[in-house]
Amino acid sequence: MTAKPETAPYRAAFTAHPADALADQRKSAFARFETLGFPTRREEAWRFTNLRPLQQAYLPGTATASKPDIAAYAFDGESYRLVFVNGRFAPDLSHTGALPKGVRLDNTAKLLPGHQDLAQSLLDDTDTAGGQGFAALNAALFADGYVLVLEDGVTLDHPVEIVHWGDAPDQSFHLRNLIKLGTGSRATILETYIGEGRYWTNAVTLVDVAAAASLRHVKLQDEATTAIHFGQVRGTLDRAARYDGFVLTLGSELSRHDSFIRYAGENAECGLFGAYLLRGAQEATNMTVVDHATPHCTTHEVFKGVVDERAHGVFLGKITVREDAQKTNANQLNKNLLLSARATVDTKPELEIFADDVKCSHGATVGDLDEDAMFYLEARGISPDEARRMLIEAFAADAIDRLEGEPALRAHLAAHVQRWLNVARVPS
């Protein structure tokens, strides 16, 4: 196989990467990346995505002087916090305190050398599914990330808070994360991605939820508006497991969040929720790929988009119900508000059903703010600006409120939606 030309600048970076325990896997991952190259618009999963910002090569670099400014994003409550700066663990900014028994939480680079089992879980050759060359690049180049492992029956009392700050100019940060929940265990994770300037964050998170375990996985992406952010979650749910994912997208010039969920047992449940609020020339894609391979599983998806100015939002949802997956219950909903004549949305909810006894639905809407609701609020003395804010906030809250049992996290996300709304609007 020949290497695609756009991969060439990354070859030198890969050659310079220090050899570690995963050298062989990294080598084959890089070969996959070279073969796949960057996706093109001919590929269905990428046909709405303009990759022009990636024409410039963002190479991984060595440690760079940095001024992390994370205070405004700190979770207002107790948490076990790991902070990463420019792709690497920053112990001085982190505090995990005393972890409960049966919990392992550490950065990937630290755990890798002594734990061959975890290293194997971190890397496999499935990351090229769907032409995901960026996941293969991540496998080849990742320097760090986080690992959370819960033993059977352990409930983590506070959220794990992962903060990544990027500001090394023109660098890429490849983070490799692993979440492994033992039977009946429970955890909540809040990932926050922020930064300043031009950089590329490329994170891959592998999730393994064992029988009757439950994971809430929340991501707040508010990268610099000149940055690129790709995030990929690959999850496997065993019998009666539960995964609730929520992604709030506010930042980046170009961003993508891809969730690949596979059911490996019966009676498992998955909620994939998100809200994206975009302005300027921002472009953001949320893709979900859910594989109902087993019977009696339930998937709920709700994504709400607010798109202003010249921004572009994309939702690609695919649920496959295989022949044996009887009694599947799956629904997909993507609703969008266009706030400007130049804003655009592409939405493609998709169901592929091979079983006959299932309940599935999908829907998508694109519209303006409700004029009747606007007038009702204004007729009570509320200014058009404030009325508009109230309606947008309520629209996004409809997705945020799906995060059951996490009032503090919901409030945290709602506060960042409000912060987004407080930014003065450029009249279109």
Note the residues at the interface with other proteins (CB under 8 A).
Answer: 370-373, 375-384, 386-387, 390-391, 393-395, 397-398, 401
Checking 346-352 for CB contacts under 8 A at 24+ apart, the result is 346/48, 346/312, 346/313, 346/314, 346/315, 347/314, 347/315, 348/315, 348/316, 348/317, 349/301, 349/315, 349/317, 350/316, 350/317, 350/318, 350/319, 351/318, 351/319, 351/321, 352/318, 352/319, 352/320, 352/321
**Smallest distance, other proteins to C-beta of residue 269, A:** 24
Beta carbon nearer to other proteins, 297 or 399: 399
The answer to whether the CB of 236 falls within 8 A of the CB of 265 is no
Distance CA 30, CA 12 (A): 11
**Smallest distance, other proteins to C-beta of residue 388, A:** 11
Beta carbon nearer to other proteins, 14 or 395: 395
Give the helix, strand, coil percentages of the chain, each rounded to 5: 25, 40, 35
**Smallest distance, other proteins to C-beta of residue 304, A:** 10
Residue 86's nearest CA partner among 209, 170, 204 is 170
**Smallest distance, other proteins to C-beta of residue 156, A:** 30
**Smallest distance, other proteins to C-beta of residue 277, A:** 15
Beta carbon nearer to other proteins, 386 or 404: 386
Q: Give the angle 109-111-114 at the CA atoms, nearest 5°.
A: 120
Beta carbon nearer to other proteins, 125 or 368: 368
Beta carbon nearer to other proteins, 103 or 387: 387
**Smallest distance, other proteins to C-beta of residue 47, A:** 32
Beta carbon nearer to other proteins, 279 or 335: 335
Beta carbon nearer to other proteins, 124 or 386: 386
Sign of CA dihedral 43, 44, 47, 53: negative
The answer to whether the CB of 153 falls within 8 A of the CB of 183 is yes
CA distances from 360 to 270, 300, 398, 406, 424 (A): 14, 10, 21, 27, 41
**Smallest distance, other proteins to C-beta of residue 303, A:** 16
Distance CA 93, CA 103 (A): 21
Q: The tokens of 360 are what?
A: 């599935």
**Smallest distance, other proteins to C-beta of residue 278, A:** 20
Question: In a 3-state reduction of DSSP, which class is residue 420?
Answer: helix
Beta carbon nearer to other proteins, 394 or 411: 394
